[in-house]
Structure 1
């Protein structure tokens, strides 16, 4: 038996219908069924010319002060029960038609119909989300999660709201906010629990200063300390044959006899009764004598830097 191979265009349409046009499998397109969907007049009642046109403004982020427990009330336009029910019926009916189109496969006109129903489902979902987005900051004011950042809580609440829109069954008879508020608060608590568990295992926060390697600095400090000790031993034995003035300038300039920073030439000058320029010249001569003594002592450490 010879099997006819589909033309490239027909194969593309078949693949687009099976995936819904965005790569999703047909099994992932779920919907909440309703008795109205099985009636012959369902499409006309939900999307016909006589159906109500519902306009919902886009949600804009509110001031952070509204998230505080004693902050001003969050003002937003609330859907009436009739409008809310109509939007959920439209959303689930559109998803039902998408599922049917995916199951039928590549039939003439199916792809165009699929795109129309996908747009209708997206419009209904956007309207429901924008109309109920204020539930997230409202529920955020009722919880206390000090170990979680505000941005993470808002993000987790938004994701929980999207899940609620996809799973809400309008035929049960109660409002969407009754179902969504509990789900959003539970999402906050789950996030706080995960963060507490993470902090229990990793109590220290990331500190960039702790990640830096200070090996070079420690080697430099050790060499400097060794040089200071060597110079002190040299001064004790006076191997460089320094005068009392030269020893004083060297000790005060490099703070060898005390803790802290070395003194400037202007500070050393009054101690020895000389000008700062003459003090600098004496230090230069002193360092030359120290280097000569160092060259004779091959076991000595690195020599001191110049003035």
Structure 2
């Protein structure tokens, strides 16, 4: 079910956690964008209990700060609006060195130092409040309002996180393109680079006074290097497997087993199929089927933890993505693996 924006704004926590700052100027524009949240008031008792158990088990990670626990912390953090200009910065020329669909991802302006501190502070404060709210979640049916509040806090935290990610996507592009080689594509590196950026946002301690770009550069660069090294190791294991299978001893050259040209063709076809998926579907398929930089098949629970969604939601997205791929493959009439 859905509750409207005015109901969302009227949410207030129990006396222990008063959220009078929900109506501050600093959240006015954000609430206009995060205009609806899921409500659990009219679902079945079984569905509600399952969601409550999921929230209780869910680990809500954040970087704590003493400022979050002083009286009036919310009012101080949300006293003014985050002045984010979503228009393309004059220093960035759309289409410069990137396909149009990728260039659009880089249209957000870079953050000023004060904007960066504000976004990180608010994001972690919201997660801190969500964690407190979750820890006090009662084991009774009166927890419905509390569950709605937790979802509202997590949605607001995600909005602030996404603004940080948008402003730093160009950094990821500039780093991962330097690691592209014949064995690993730009798309593979980009997908993992964005995941590394998300992890960096979640782990960054803004109170230390460093710019996020300094920290993120190290994280994304190290991740890209590890992806390339892992791919090289995987290729080496594949060649060793061919030797163990007796292909070389049978007098069949490795090159004739599947030509390099055919490998590139198949990779290109797979890339075309994956491009038909949205970003989340693509990440889940890569992780579930060990495609690209993922050296091991990941469980639904592991992916759910990384994306901040339920295991069942991951399963649904995976099924939808597989159906899309099957339809696209049938339309494209792709060749069998062994054809040359």
Aligned to 2:71: 40
Does residue 109 of structure 2 align to residue 77 of structure 1? yes
Distance 1:196 1:64, change over 3 A: farther
Partner secondary structure for residue 97 of structure 2: helix
Distance 1:124 1:210, change over 3 A: closer
TM-superposed CA distance for 1:17, in Å, is 4.1
**Which runs of structure 2 are paired with 1:1-307 in the superposition (5 Å)?**
13=48, 15-20=50-55, 25-26=57-58, 28-47=59-78, 50-55=79-84, 57=86, 63=95, 65-66=97-98, 77-106=109-138, 109-143=145-179, 145-203=181-239, 211=338
Instruction: Judge conservation of contact 1:153–1:188 (CA < 8 Å) in 2.
Output: yes
TM-superposed CA distance for 1:32, in Å, is 0.5
Distance 1:147 1:45, change over 3 A: same
Taking the aligned partners of 1:56 and 1:146, their CA distance within structure 2 comes to: 39
Taking the aligned partners of 1:154 and 1:210, their CA distance within structure 2 comes to: 26
Partner secondary structure for residue 78 of structure 1: coil
TM-superposed CA distance for 1:33, in Å, is 0.4
Instruction: Judge conservation of contact 1:78–1:131 (CA < 8 Å) in 2.
Output: yes
TM-superposed CA distance for 1:89, in Å, is 0.7
TM-superposed CA distance for 1:98, in Å, is 1.1
Normalized against structure 2, the TM-score is what?
0.50
Any stretches of 5+ residues in structure 2 without a counterpart? 1-42, 89-93, 100-105, 240-253, 267-334
Taking the aligned partners of 1:210 and 1:79, their CA distance within structure 2 comes to: 47
**Number of residues of Structure 1 aligned to a counterpart in Structure 2:** 193
Taking the aligned partners of 1:210 and 1:161, their CA distance within structure 2 comes to: 34
Query: Residue deviations 1:2-39, cap 9 Å, x none?
Result: xxxxxx9677555534433xxx823x211100111011
Distance 1:210 1:42, change over 3 A: closer
TM-superposed CA distance for 1:145, in Å, is 3.8
Taking the aligned partners of 1:196 and 1:64, their CA distance within structure 2 comes to: 31
Instruction: Judge conservation of contact 1:29–1:95 (CA < 8 Å) in 2.
Output: yes
Instruction: Judge conservation of contact 1:147–1:195 (CA < 8 Å) in 2.
Output: yes
Q: Which moved more, 1:145-154 or 1:31-40?
A: 145-154
Aligned to 2:273: none
Any stretches of 5+ residues in structure 1 without a counterpart? 1-7, 68-73, 214-307
Distance 1:46 1:12, change over 3 A: farther
